Amino acid sequence: MALSGLFLVVFLTQHFLINVTSVFSEDIFNKLSHFMGTNPLVQFVLQPILIFGVIFHFVMGFYLEILNAKSRKNNYSKFSGGSNSSWISRNMIFSGGVILVFLIIHFIDFWIPEMNYKYVEALPEDPNRYFEELVHKFESPLKTAIYSFSFIFLALHLLHGFSSSFKTVGVDSKYYNLIQKGTFLFSVIIPAGFVFIAIFHNLTA
């Protein structure tokens, strides 16, 4: 879980860095998207690894949840979880579930049309189509709201999961407090950035 989570954080970072260019340069965004969409290493090596990482993270998350539930077959009649731990740390499966639903919507919005364009209909590649496609998706206020709502849950998921993954892989050094602060900033800034991009394109479309 921790390793796949850290891997997905790396992917999320590169996804954000490419997307954020759409705010200030249509040309750079198109160039980067064209590179990512046509480079064989990205398409046929990194993309399958990413899909495997996503599926592995979700399957393991649900599997461990079921396994953990078996460790306490009889639940407490009164359980004050809020007195000793954060809500989000106890409900990662819930925030993860919301993100899973979001990912399905995201795949239907972007990935499936992209695969259809390139490999099913085999249309000629247009290096300038990406920006327009992106803006078109966020013309709908409802879609923008769904994306923004999902990124709030991504932020909550990251707020616990990112720093937690370091503990799981055994980071116990004196730099741990620094890591915690860094993961906190990442967990707030990156999802907020994605929300900003969605709202920006909705307002400027």
CA distance 191 to 153: 9
Q: Cα–Cα distances in Å, from 171 out to 2, 46, 189? A: 12, 27, 23
Smallest gap from Cβ 173 to another protein, in A, equals: 9
Considering Cα of 168, then 172, then 175, then 176, what sign does the dihedral take? Answer: positive
Interface with another protein includes 39 (CB under 8 A)?
Answer: no
Q: Which of 40, 44, 83, 124 binds another protein (CB under 8 A)?
A: 83
**Per-residue binder mask for another protein (CB under 8 A), 178-197, x = binder:** --------------------
CA distance 138 to 11: 22
CA distance 114 to 175: 42
Nearest C-alpha neighbor of 156 from the set 102, 76, 80: 102
- Binding window for another protein (CB under 8 A); candidates: 7-15, 46-54, 74-82, 193-201: 74-82
- Binding window for another protein (CB under 8 A); candidates: 34-42, 68-76, 105-113, 190-198: 68-76
Q: Which residues bind another protein (CB under 8 A)?
A: 64, 67-68, 70-81, 83-86, 89-90, 92, 160, 163-164, 166-172, 176
